[in-house]
Amino acid sequence: MPKAVDLMMFDFDGTLADTKDDLVTSVNHTLTRLNLQPRTPVDIISFVGDGVRQLIERSLSDNRDAYIDQAMTIFTDYYARHLVDQTRLYPDVEDLLNHFSHKIKIIVTNKRYRFTKTIAAHLGIEKYFQEIVGADTTPYQKPDARVIEYVLNRYKVPRSKAVMIGDGKNDVAVAANAGIVCCVHLNGLGAREELLAMNADYYCENMSEIKSLFC
């Protein structure tokens, strides 16, 4: 029996958009500019999920204290110019958003607002969302429940009628912290086994499956 919801909150990287190639390229451009060794794509993707500063700090590793400010400047400038070079929607995303056209849909991401808005507009999906809540929209980021409380209060939706859809551990954790259900996309950027071990409410292999889970 599908669960009735009024509000659908979507993570962005790894859920709606496959952003990994542009993130990897931008991080390694930054490291190369600093004459540091590039990281493997697997390493870089494992660093995604907690915002851009944490991504860069983790990529710098032992060099973070010496280079973090310079690296942030290089990365931000480069990524702003190359964030849609290779980024694509995951299969069936637009069909899913059309299917739930009558629902309130919000992007809730730890990615910066302007990066998210630019990519969503380029991919043609910004029109489906009432709002984009980025890392810098509120003082809070996932897994802090207050970012979910912000959305619930703003749209006057009871937590029993809300779902968080994402591909990372922060999506599962923020849903649990806020007392709402969570649906995990297993073929995004998050580590599959780690996500399965978190016992989320719903799991899907592809985005089209969500149509049968909620109504």
- Identify the bridge partners of residue 7 per DSSP, sorted by sequence position: 104, 162
Question: What residue spans of the chain are helical by DSSP H?
Answer: 20-33, 41-46, 52-60, 64-82, 93-99, 113-122, 145-155, 169-178, 192-197, 210-213
Q: Is 136 a catalytic residue?
A: no
CA-based nearest residue to 87, from 79, 95, 77:
79
Contacts of 179 (CB under 8 A, 6+ apart): 145, 159
Both tokens assigned to 11: 């993570």
- Identify the bridge partners of residue 203 per DSSP, sorted by sequence position: 184
Among 6, 11, 22, 43, the one annotated catalytic: 11
Catalytic residue IDs: 11
